[in-house]
Amino acid sequence: MKPTLVIMAAGMASRYGSLKQVQGFGPSGETIMDYSIYDAIKVGFGKVVFIIRKEFADDFKKIFEPRLKGKIEIDYVYQDLHSFVEGHTIPAERTKPWGTAHAILCASPAVQEPFIVINADDFYGRDAFQKAYDFLTTEASDHTFGLIGYELVKTLSDNGSVSRGVCKVDASNNLVEINERTKIYREGDKIVYEEDGKKVEVPFDSKVSMNFWCFTPYAFTLAKDLFDTFLEKNINQPKAEVYVVDMAARFITLPDNALKVIPTSADWFGVTYKEDAPIVQKNINELVSRGQYPQRLW
């Protein structure tokens, strides 16, 4: 059974200010997602599942179905405020989705095989997909999940601070803990994050999560348990969210479990700010000019 690619594309990015997931960056109008799907197909994935909002459905289908028809199986799931909230009353002031762990839970009806989860607006590189495929087909189990780990220095933006999940690993590259640092940036010859008004230095080669996770369907059980607990405690907090990193933190506390941080040599790039868009376009054009991708993907 071939593994599945799950793409989280339900968010409207407040800092970017538009539906960046369907913006064309490639020489023939390809989105960042197109390159992720292309890489996934090349290494052996059999299906792509888009997690989107219902109001985005027409845009997604118009763009991707003609491109992907006959190349990979396609499915859509919708992240909706009312999904999996049975028994709870949603406050009127709650308008935003419940977070990335809830997004994954919303994908459960469409996924029965080992799968990866990625962001729609991040370019991850072929090596990451190859490493994920190898892991899912040889090592992943209900007790062993994975995370593609990028070098922090390769994931910064020149246009502002970023949020990164900084990983602490043991001698076997198993995740010990992951800390979400919400304001990381380069300062001179250092990388720092801010916390409680202080600046803390982070090593350049620290492994960070860019939301490239390797799971089995057991992840859905984990997400449901976590989301139920979250709702009990946070239903009246209009901005509270439950994240994939919360799933990871919970998973590694369970008996006999390990979450492997799988290093990749790939360069990550993505669109956090509008000013990042020309850099993304330039990077993709360079990869095309070097022959790593064709001028027209599809």
Domain of 94, CATH number, reads: 3.90.550.10
* Domain annotation covers residue 201: no
Q: Residue 17: pLDDT above 50?
A: no
Mean pLDDT of the chain: 92
Mean pLDDT of 12-31: 67
As a whole number of angstroms, the distance between CA 292 and CA 289 comes to 8
Closest by alpha carbon to 32, among 66, 54, 9, 53?
9
Decide: helix, strand or coil at residue 179. strand
Tokens of 132: 């994920």
Q: What is the mean pLDDT of residues 285-292?
A: 96
Task: Note whether residue 14 is domain-resident.
Answer: yes
The pLDDT score that the predictor gives to residue 267 is 87
Residue 172 resides in a domain: no
pLDDT of residue 12: 43
Question: For the residues 143-167, what does the mean pLDDT come to?
Answer: 93
Q: CB–CB of 222/231 below 8 Å?
A: no
For residue 16, name the pLDDT band (cuts at 50, 70, 90): very low
Judged against a pLDDT cut of 60, whether residue 242 lies above it is answered with yes
Domain assignment present for 171: no
The answer to whether residue 186 sits within a structural domain is no
Answer whether residue 56 shows pLDDT above 70.
Answer: yes
What is the number of structural domains in the chain? 1
> Residue 182's pLDDT band (boundaries 50, 70, 90)?
confident
Look up the domain containing 26 and give its range. Answer: 4-142+208-251+265-289
Position 110 in a domain: yes
Could you tell me the pLDDT band of residue 15, with boundaries at 50, 70 and 90?
very low
- The pair phi, psi for residue 65, each rounded to 5°, is -65, -45
Q: What is the DSSP letter of 112?
A: -
What does the pLDDT average to over 62-85? 94
- Report the predicted TM-score, pTM, of the whole model to 2 decimal places: 0.93
pLDDT of residue 19: 54
Residue 168 resides in a domain: no
Domain annotation covers residue 150: no
Using the predicted structure, report yes or no on whether residue 250 has a pLDDT greater than 50. yes
